[in-house]
Amino acid sequence: MAPERHIVVIGGMNMDLVCKAAVAPRPGETVVGESFYKGLGGKGANQAIMAARLGAPVSFVGRVGDDEFGREMLAAMRANGVSTDYMRVVDGCSSGIALIIVDAKAQNQIVVIPGANDRLEPKDITDAEELIAKSSLMVTQFESPLETVETAINVAAEHGVPVILNPAPVITQKISPSTLKKVQMLVPNETEAEALTGVKQDVPDFAMAAAGSLREIGVERVIVTLGDVGSVIADPQTLKRIPAYKVTPIDTTAAGDAFVGALAAGYFLFDELEMLARFASAAGALAVTKKGSQVSLPSRQDLERFLSQHDSALLSHFQHKPSDNNHDYSP
């Protein structure tokens, strides 16, 4: 029997190649950078590791290439206590790569080469059906082919497993409303919310309007993330803004993934969507105070210290629930 709060994450893993520069280059321009580093990333991998660091048992379903990057990424997942039993290595294919430019204002520009992530097929999902059926929550994004994502959502729905969908990155294909109705929690940013709803960002109270539109489709709970402005939450009882915690940002690269991973870890800890969104926001706030992707994701101890200073009501809920992950990450 799967442990309480067991989470299955379906998605991508990337090796991040990060350049830091005062300004990002314009088309045709070359700029001199300040530093370079290599880091482990990918939305799915980041979200899985974030949830595991906060004490949730996590399994990952995805693919890597038969290269050094792939071996590094698999080792990192295991080192963080994430099960890789359903990871597959694709022969003759590179692992996913993300080329990232971070400017002096901590804003980033990213080019992603999917590599093996694009090879995750619906059959990989059906092969993992027993794992999904025994899980208490599934998390996925648009880093995998849409057909694969839709298959995963349908399989989870067949087994009564709630789904968190982070519809990132933006895709050109349209996900069907019937599939979205099977999602218990949808977590887009502003760009993704516009792509899903057609509501333009320049309309008054855009995030409120987009969240309401997604609720009308039939999504049970919606959180539109707004970066350092906070978020807008919507469920059958609530439609409101949640302010962000004030921190000094260094690198925003994995903030959204920290938010989603913390949502997953806290999904069964907080009955109220507002408290859950604040909990996720705290993880996102901590992530922007360090550079890099997975290295910036806070540990359970990091988050407890932050909440003790900024939100003691959340801390009492979090501390009440001991870790279910027998691999407690410590930096």
Ordered by start, the domain boundaries in the chain are: 7-24+34-320
What is the Cα–Cα distance from 119 to 75, expressed in whole angstroms? 20
- DSSP class of residue 271? S
Q: Is the pLDDT of residue 152 over 90?
A: yes
* Whether 239 contacts 208, CB under 8 Å: yes
pTM for this predicted structure: 0.90
Tell me: is residue 14 an annotated ligand-binding position.
Answer: yes
Rounded to the nearest 5 percent, the helix, strand and coil shares of the chain are 40, 20, 40
pLDDT band at 315 (very low <50, low <70, confident <90, very high): confident
Return left, alpha or beta for 65; rule: phi > 0 is left, psi -120 to 50 is alpha, else beta: beta
Q: β-strands 14-20, 35-41: how paired?
A: antiparallel
Taking each helix axis from N to C end, the angle separating 206-217 and 190-197, rounded to the nearest 10 degrees, works out to 50
Tell me: is residue 227 an annotated ligand-binding position.
Answer: yes
**Residue that has been written with the tokens 């005062």 in this structure:** 22
- DSSP class of residue 143? S
What is the Cα–Cα distance from 53 to 127, expressed in whole angstroms? 27
Which amino acid is residue 56, in one-letter code? A
Per-residue pLDDT reduced to its tens digit, 219-257: 999 999 999 999 999 999 999 999 999 999 988 888 999
Residues in contact with 305: Cβ distance below 8 Å, sequence separation at least 6, in sequence order = none
Tell me: is residue 143 an annotated ligand-binding position.
Answer: yes
Which amino acid is residue 239, in one-letter code? L
As a CATH number, domain 7-24+34-320 is: 3.40.1190.20
* Whether 327 contacts 84, CB under 8 Å: no
User: Tokens standing for 132?
Assistant: 């999904």
What is the Cα–Cα distance from 161 to 107, expressed in whole angstroms? 36
Per-residue pLDDT reduced to its tens digit, 91-138: 999 999 989 898 998 888 888 899 999 999 999 999 999 999 999 999
Tell me: is residue 226 an annotated ligand-binding position.
Answer: yes
> Per the residue annotation, which of 67, 103, 205, 257 is the catalytic one?
257
Active site residue 257: yes
